[in-house]
Chain A
């Protein structure tokens, strides 16, 4: 089945530790995105990538880093510089870039990050 997978489902981070969240899609989508969701809030964009080896900062990129070495993969690293990382992280993808603005984004199941 085509879709977006995220792992792990739950992730625990110790103080000063970097952790990496995985996001893989087999939909052959060009664009991929990372969002953060805090309790009672909507989603906020962290980073997005429209093409391999290129990515753009979203609204809340500080303390995060990404890479896009393969079309199907867009891992997110939460660095020690992110002082409040506890949140629900959602990865998404969309088919093409800029071709049709009505094309929706498809979401993965999410990773819940907790700080010990």
Chain B
């Protein structure tokens, strides 16, 4: 069974600083995908970034990057130059590559950006 652990229930970060949101995962599968989603107060889940288990380079999407350490089973999200609009819940999720379309989610981290 897959499991995602996010150990930071909440974080407060000064505007323009970088922030790292932690995510560790557990799976016995060799092929899997890791996702990060942002959920603002409106409730919609917004896809941010993806990392495949066989990808040799860490994924980047604009201000978002994923610090993928396969041996440690961690997939931390790094947001550079944080903005007030980054305040939201952030969820890490995983999907294995066996035709199972299920996403397993962590419990999330609430990020608050301080002006």
Contact = CB atoms under 8 A, between A and B. Distances in A.
Most buried by B among A41, A42, A109: A42
Contacts of B37: 107
B101 A48 contact: yes
A74 B18 CA distance: 40
Contacts of B58: none
Interface in B94-111: 95-97, 99, 101-103, 105-108
Given A98-B99, A102-B52, A110 B107 contact: no
A101 B102 contact: no
A88 B43 contact: yes
A42 B52 contact: no
A17 interface: no
Interface residues of A, number: 28
A101 B42 contact: no
Contact of A109 (B44, B47, B106): B44
Given A43-B91, A102-B52, A109-B44, A97 B102 contact: no
A102 B33 contact: yes
Nearest to A90: B45
B26 to A, nearest CB: 15
A42 B95 contact: no
B108 A101 contact: no
Q: Which 7 A-B pairs have the closest CB atoms?
A: A42-B105, A107-B45, A101-B97, A110-B43, A98-B99, A104-B47, A43-B105
